[in-house]
Amino acid sequence: MKLPHFNSKLFLAPMEVVNDPAFRFMCHKYGSAMQFTEMIGINAVVRGNKAVINLARTLNEEKPVAVQLFGTKTELIKKSIQILEHDYPEMIKPDMFDFNFGCSSENIVNQGAGAALLKRPSKIGEIISTMRASTDLPISAKIRLGVNSKLPNYVKIAKIIEENGADMITVHGRYQKQGFGGKVDLNAIKEVKQAVNIPVVGNGDVIDEFSAKKMLNETGCDYIMIGRAALGNPFIFERINYYLKKGFLLKQKKKADLLNEYIYLAKKYEIKPQIIKQQERNFNKKK
């Protein structure tokens, strides 16, 4: 399937209790070419859990936006995609569906989902094939390098994902057991890029203009996914885009101004007060 048009090389990573519609809209405004919802459990969607389904709410102002799913059962993947694509046309208007094979959270892994699926390449193939058969929208997947450095099966899994119909793949250059510790393996992302013919998104440790350029130069990846560096600072996208295009550094916008902008949008889009409070903490953190 044809991917949406991307107006930059930068994507906003899916982040739990961060990627609300107001925050995603700000990231889009400042230069993120694709927004991802936080992970959405297929089991909860099929059960009709309104709070979880609401996590897939999208705005016309933030498009293109991808809905990221996680789980294990293919029959529920099919049902959840049909529900999210067709049952809430006024609230949910996805441009893509993404599947998470990279979450290292103990809670997710203990369910056999997220990065735990990296031990089951054939199951990954089944999931991607099911997604492809369930929607005419583009589909993508996010992976890590494997469960640990003794099982580096990222190239094999990337090829399986491509062969079963995915249109794009994101590679977080760490193993599940690393969590967010240690250094990202840029060469591994490069290996995936050289092994597949679909676009590759590099992910991990892109925290500023220089690390973004290094990711692009050393891996040859098509796009970059930014997560933790965007926490409380959607302006990071404008800074990096400016540097990639012009080679100069752009002055950081004041965090207080960004927070005020977020609060205005959060109220406009009826974001829950507890989410706003968490976002306020993110914006007020010193980096």
Tokens read off for 86: 């067709």
Bridge partners (DSSP) of residue 170 are 142, 201
Beta bridge partners of 100: 142
Please list, in sequence order, all residues whose beta carbon lies within 8 angstroms of the beta carbon of residue 253, skipping any fewer than 6 positions away. 235, 238
Please name the amino acid found at residue 210: F
| Residue whose C-alpha is closest to residue 62's, from 86, 16, 38, 27 | 27
Residue 3 to residue 51: CA distance in whole angstroms: 29
Contact 34, 247 (CB under 8 A): no
| β-sheet bridge partners, residue 66 | 36, 96
By the 8 A CB rule, do 41 and 68 touch? no
Task: Tell me if residue 41 falls in helix, strand or coil.
Answer: strand
Which helix (H) or strand (E) element contains residue 201? Answer: strand 200-203
Q: Percent helix, strand, coil in the chain (nearest 5)?
A: 45, 15, 40
Q: Which of 27, 103, 215, 271 is catalytic?
A: 103
103 is catalytic: yes
Cite the active site residues: 103
